[in-house]
Amino acid sequence: MATKAFGFLLSDLTTRFDSKLSSSSPKLRAPFLRCSLHVSSHAAATGKEQRPWKNSDARLVLEDGSIWKAKSFGASGTQVGEVVFNTSLTGYQEILTDPSYAGQFVLMTNPHIGNTGINFDDEESRQCFLAGLVIRSLSISTSNWRCAEPLGDYLAKRNIMGIYDVDTRAITRRLRQDGSLIGVLSTDNSKTDEELLQMSRSWDIVGIDLISGVSCKSPYEWVDQTAQEWDFNTNGSHRETFRIVAYDFGIKLNILRRLASYGCKITVVPSTWPASETLKLKPDGVLFSNGPGDPSAVPYAVETVKNILGKVPVFGICMGHQLLGQALGGKTFKMKFGHHGGNHPVRNLQTGHVEISAQNHNYAVDPASLPEGVKVTHINLNDGSCAGLAFPAQKIMSLQYHPEASPGPHDSDYAFKQFVELMNQEKNKKPHENLHHLSTMHAMDS
């Protein structure tokens, strides 16, 4: 109907323009524009013309009772998850494959998503673990020399739901005001709004062990470094090799690549790997990786961390940082809406420098609950929360954010070098220094 009306309007305007031109300038011709719309055989049979745009066919129902109509892409169905917003301007593919988003709907505050498509070099894990993707505008075309397929096709193959044409700014304001909310995303018209609302109010992400669902199932070796065309800072200057055991609580591949680029050979082990087996490997250091969910829901991981502390240098990132906090006797708490994005300012209290960091966490360590000797090394300048810890007596360092970025700036990449230096110091200790340290640790245990 709209096409017919538009055609009639153009025809009417052309007729009027022709009549005026014919009397004054017979050599001029009025332009003629024909607007046509393909009508399918089904539409012709039913008398209903197919629209060139997609209608709303999905709903996001939040636990506060708000209902957001949207258009779907990717997979179809019904899914429940915690809604969080991410302020990154780029890197949606790395976000999609970050295991730390397990159980969550990621809302991108940047309105235009999908314009660079998908390539298979930027994967941060073996699959997509997030519950769904919420965006304002889905790009109808892709333009990138590495693009292998469109975003919608990528999500559909991985059974991940996505919605667009929804007011992401309004939802973000709601999350900032009320905190992270549980939501249900559905393309199923048979389910009522009340049923979806009940689903959102009967599920909770707190207290769920999400790590076991994203961790590897058996140990494996990692040797790949950051590709030469993307490398920075290291320049192949690290000749000495350090042996690291990395606990996979949902580890991102670029953490492994950065460690390898700094001269580390890495054995990746599952989240349930016993501390005794780790120590049998005689590593120069142990990494406790990032991961999803509530650190209080994985007491077995806290116990593993406790049994390793003080025996070798350790480095905790995100979830690993929170587990270290609990293992040291501190407490963690759930933040109002967490930190998710590639533009969070952090102050390094040791140097006074400010770093722009990539962050993704909903929990934080309470520094007031930590024992004497543990130092807060970094703070988030947005809210003053603890962003880094160090305990020299037990060779501990940790960050609440991602030094490898991916996506995000590289301001904090030096942390990998600091970990290497910590291992090097321990490796080059004189025998009497090691005996003194062991006697000190024995006294602390007693």
d(C-alpha 95, C-alpha 290), whole Å: 13
DSSP SS3 for 142:
coil
Residues 6+ apart with CB under 8 A from 84: 101, 104, 105, 106, 107, 175, 180, 337, 338, 340, 362
What are the angstrom distances between the C-alpha of 192 and each of 60, 184, 196, 199, 364? 12, 12, 6, 11, 37
Which token pair is 212?
């076991």
d(C-alpha 202, C-alpha 2), whole Å: 45
d(C-alpha 86, C-alpha 317), whole Å: 19
Q: Where are the strands (E) in 381-428, listed by range?
A: 386-391, 396-399
| Residue 318 falls in the annotated catalytic set | yes
Which entry of 128, 264, 318, 386 is annotated as an active-site residue? 318
| Residue 404 falls in the annotated catalytic set | yes
> Residue ranges of the alpha helices (H) in 166-238?
168-178, 193-201
DSSP SS3 for 160:
coil
**Continuous segment of H or E residues that includes residue 23:** helix 2-24
Which entry of 63, 94, 124, 404 is annotated as an active-site residue? 404
Q: Give residue 126's Cα distance to chain centre.
A: 14
d(C-alpha 118, C-alpha 183), whole Å: 27
User: DSSP code of 263?
Assistant: T
Which amino acid belongs to residue 24? Answer: S
d(C-alpha 94, C-alpha 416), whole Å: 20
What are the angstrom distances between the C-alpha of 133 and each of 31, 103, 150, 198? 45, 12, 14, 21
d(C-alpha 2, C-alpha 253), whole Å: 51
Which token pair is 427?
């490796």
| Residue 353 falls in the annotated catalytic set | no
d(C-alpha 366, C-alpha 287), whole Å: 21
Q: Where are the strands (E) in 223-353, listed by range?
A: 242-247, 264-269, 285-288, 314-317, 331-348
Residues assigned a catalytic role? 318, 402, 404
